[in-house]
Amino acid sequence: MGFLFFPQTVWIPCFTICRASYNSIAILNANWRNQNGCENKTHMHTSQSPITEIPNIFKPRSARFATARRSDKDIQLTLFLFFFGLLVLLTFIWFVRKRRREIVTRRNRFSSTIRYTPAPTRSSVNIDSNDEEPHEELFYRLNRLGITYNIYKKKYEIDPLNLKVNAEKLGDGQYGFVNVGYLHNGEKRLKVAVKRSHKPHDEYEQGMFMAELTVMCAIEKHPNVLALIGGVTLTKPNKIIMEFVDEGSLLKFLDKYKKNEKDTYKELSTFDLISFAYQIAKGMEHLARIRCVHRDLASRNVLITSDGITKIGDFGLSRKYENKEYYRPRKEDPFKTFQPWLWMAPEAFENNRFTEKSDVWSFAVCLFEIFSLGDLPILNEIMRPFWKTADYLPQPKYCSDSVYEFMKLCWSENPEERPTFSECCDFFEKQLKHRSVKRFEDLERKLKKISKEHKTFKNWAGIN
């Protein structure tokens, strides 16, 4: 390296970068100005003189290319992060706008079919300081069932001041628990069952709770279906008021007999077991007639009175379906909704398709529970649907051959080969008459009496 000097100006270092290649030499010269400037003197460049970075054009080719590659990668990464973030932002905006459109559409649908009624004033209804508008889910569910809120309020809304809830618990379910309560109407008093939500402020659970209330509003009274008296929706916690059934669940009732703990119902005969099956079939026939699937039919969800009348209850999963051949849940969270898979038909378990025929399958599993006095419907103590390992459950201890053959028919793999609930009623009616016509006629009289009692429930609910 050499130096060129010019008087009164600056020193200019001359870098000679040589690259020999077959008799050719490339010489590059570059000029620097001293960082501290010059004072009309000639300066020699020393090791202490500050030198800035050599421009890129004067670097070896390999170094220039490495720098370019790093620069290109940085640009590519920046562009990727920019467009990815933009895509995420646009997706979020689309989701928010879609959700808002759904809410607006729902509200418009409500306003076109339901005339909203403001919460009753204190002059008309005595309601405590928890006064509030009914849950939006109530309007939505009523609208889907073709029931206006005004009709619901006049037929089913109950003034909470007329209701007293006791601490005595009757049962506990997936979305609520049931206590004993009393409705007051002047000097009259009616013993009832009061259901409340486990989590009254949880939106999902509250929606499922309202679904149960509204589907019970759509079910007309039947002696073998648990009757709705009314609901409390204008104050928290919301409540479902139902008729009181003194013996509780059929499963516990059967279990007491199995353990020889029952003494009030003196004796349990084959006629009684067939009678339970017949009454459950009657109640399910009523639901099928209005195109309502229960989806959770089991002996634990069937209630029984002290005189042997059975009533289908627990409508938490029950739904009405119109203009379709089957019902398929769409808004239910599979992680929050219990599915009774030991009782479920294959098409319900695997494809989420629920029809009268899927309820018939569950009915046959319920028959297994009845005629075994409450055995769990499993094979070899393995907790999985029996149809995954065998065609049928084994014949229960107290089940006749003819009844067992009918159960197997209900477990046909093809739903179309299963009987309807009307055919189930006919089958068990013949079984009852074959054993005792007189006892069958007595049963029918009891059912007619209950139908008359149900008509009086309308006197305990309704707010004008």
Token couple for 439: 């006892």
Closest CA to 283 of 269, 301, 265: 301
How deeply is 61 buried, as exposed, middle or buried, from its count of CB atoms within 10 A (0-12, 13-18, 19+)?
Answer: exposed
Residues 421 and 134: their CA atoms lie apart, in Å, by 36
195 is in an annotated binding site: yes
Specify the amino acid at residue 314.
Answer: D
Closest CA to 375 of 404, 396, 406, 405: 396
Kindly report whether the peptide bond that precedes residue 237 is cis, defined as omega within 30 degrees of 0: yes
Length of the chain: 464
> DSSP 3-state assignment of 82?
helix
Q: What value, to the nearest 5°, has the Cα angle with vertex 308 and ends 378 and 317?
A: 50
| CA distances (Å), origin 330, targets 145, 177, 282, 333, 334 | 16, 25, 29, 8, 10
Q: What is the DSSP letter of 112?
A: H
Cβ neighbours of residue 82 under 8 Å, at least 6 residues apart?
none
Residue 169, beta-bridge partner list: 179
Set 172, 255, 296, 307: catalytic member: 296
Cβ neighbours of residue 79 under 8 Å, at least 6 residues apart?
none
Token couple for 214: 């509204």
Closest CA to 372 of 405, 392, 395: 395
CA dihedral 257→263→267→268, nearest 10 degrees, is -30
Residues 464 and 446: their CA atoms lie apart, in Å, by 34
CB 127 within 8 A of CB 120: yes
Closest CA to 320 of 364, 286, 350, 351: 286
CA 283 to chain centroid, in Å, comes to 25
Q: What is the DSSP letter of 34?
A: -
| CA distances (Å), origin 219, targets 212, 213, 224, 225, 318 | 11, 10, 12, 9, 11
296 is catalytic: yes
> Which stretches of 290-374 are DSSP H helices?
346-351, 356-371
CB 310 within 8 A of CB 304: yes
Residues of each annotated binding site: 195
Binding-site entries for ATP = 195
**Active-site annotation, residues:** 296
